[in-house]
Amino acid sequence: MRQGMNSHLEDSYVDRIDRHMGVGEVKGQGKPAEEFVARFYEGISGLKVRFSTPEEDKGPEIGGRQTVDLVVSFADGRAAFATQITSSDQRGVMEKKIKEMRDHPFIRLDEMNPHEVSIPKVLVFLDAGQIKNFFNDPTMKKYPELPLKVIDDHIRSLIFDLSQTQNPPQQKAVKELIQIFTEEKKKYTH
């Protein structure tokens, strides 16, 4: 494929979703939602985040094998997990994302060595209106419900991932991530 073609295909897919949004649904918050979650990860000690490559973000409907928006690594460079984020409240879009998660709870990145175990996939649903409000006044402390939603979605996804593997190294890695997010949640709850 030509350079940039992946981006064009993804943009066409996102535009098609936006055209079918419900009345009153806030449009155009997908990229800001990804940015919000990336900022959230930057606040967690020991984690590094990067946005996915076009190939990693190219879902099955446009010829890819997985759909992830962010890739998170531990400080030592080991891949930790990958995140799919949506701010759409369309039932069909949400069901599609959940099905992808069920079908592929663990993924492999091209950068991973053959001896590394697949990493868990995490699914985060955010309210587009809340994301829009956050970027009108981007002070994390003013929106404590957003980080809590991100944390709860991580814990829920990771518990699901844990139930889908019998591989001891994967189980250990997922349990470590559940512990990280459980500890992180304490910062936002009293």
Structural contact between residues 84 and 124, judged by C-beta atoms closer than 8 angstroms: yes
Question: Strand 79-86 vs strand 47-51: parallel, antiparallel, or unpaired?
Answer: unpaired
Mean pLDDT of 155-177: 96
pLDDT digits 0-9 by tens, 38-92: 999 999 999 999 998 887 776 555 444 568 999 999 999 999 999 999 887 778 8
For the ranges 16-25, 153-162, 163-172, the lowest mean pLDDT is seen at 16-25
Grade residue 13 by pLDDT with cuts at 50, 70 and 90.
Answer: very low
pLDDT at 59: 58
pTM for the model stands at 0.81
pLDDT at 160: 96
pLDDT at 150: 96
